[in-house]
Amino acid sequence: MIESTIYAITQEESRYALSGAKVEINKEGMRMVTTDGHRLALIDSKEVTAAESLELLIPKKALAELSKITNGHEGPLSFSTDENHIYFQVGTRTLVSRLIYGQFPNYEMVIPKENNLIVRMSAAAFREAIKRIALMAEERSQTRNQTKRNPDHGPIPRRRRSSGNDSSRV
């Protein structure tokens, strides 16, 4: 769940409530939500439940460290909280982190309630198309001006650009 959501946590220190993941656990399951104000990542799991509802804001650094110590761990993970902290137990290791206090935005307002559009596609083909698009977007965002000197006519400005004519079918 962490790897599926951590990328959308904000890097801006001024947006304190967005500097971690909102974790909601209840009798129906667990939900982890992150956002940076532009992107939203949400994942649900039915594997983790709790008799009483619990909402926590866990810092990004704690999630990254938890991801590291659970990598390759096959046993159970347990956690507990007090007023200010969360305690993770992974085998013989214990991770303690301060919880974030603040108002996480109402993310449910940006998720459409009704959606009649259903798309079915190959996940592998879609992933490959996204990789190609990301590469093109990266090239465009890193466009830089270059100047080449021509002794007869002065400087000639050049731009490094991609053709932009790539197309894919998924």
Could you tell me how far CA 7 lies from the centroid of its own chain? 3
* pLDDT of 23 higher than 50: yes
109 secondary structure, DSSP code: G
pTM of the model: 0.68
118-155 core/surface letters (b: 16 or more CB in 10 A; e: else) = eeeeeeeeeeebeeeeeeeeeeeeeeeeeeeeeeeeee
pLDDT grade, residue 145 (50/70/90)?
very low
Strand pairing category for 154-159 and 145-150: antiparallel
pLDDT digits (tens, 9 = 90+) for 77-132: 889 999 999 999 998 999 999 999 988 989 988 888 888 888 899 999 999 999 88
* Cα–Cα dist 97/89, whole Å: 12
Give the pair of three-digit tokens for residue 110: 């940006």
Q: Which domains does the chain have, with CATH numbers?
A: 2-109 (3.10.150.10), 123-159 (no CATH)
**Mean per-residue pLDDT, 8-17:** 84
* pLDDT of 151 higher than 70: no
Quick one: three-class SS letters along 104-145?
A: CCCHHHCCCCCCCCCCCCCHHHHHHHHHHHHHHHHHHHCCCE
Q: Of 111 and 61, which is predicted with more confidence?
A: 61
**Mean per-residue pLDDT, 150-159:** 50
Q: Of 165 and 118, which is predicted with more confidence?
A: 118
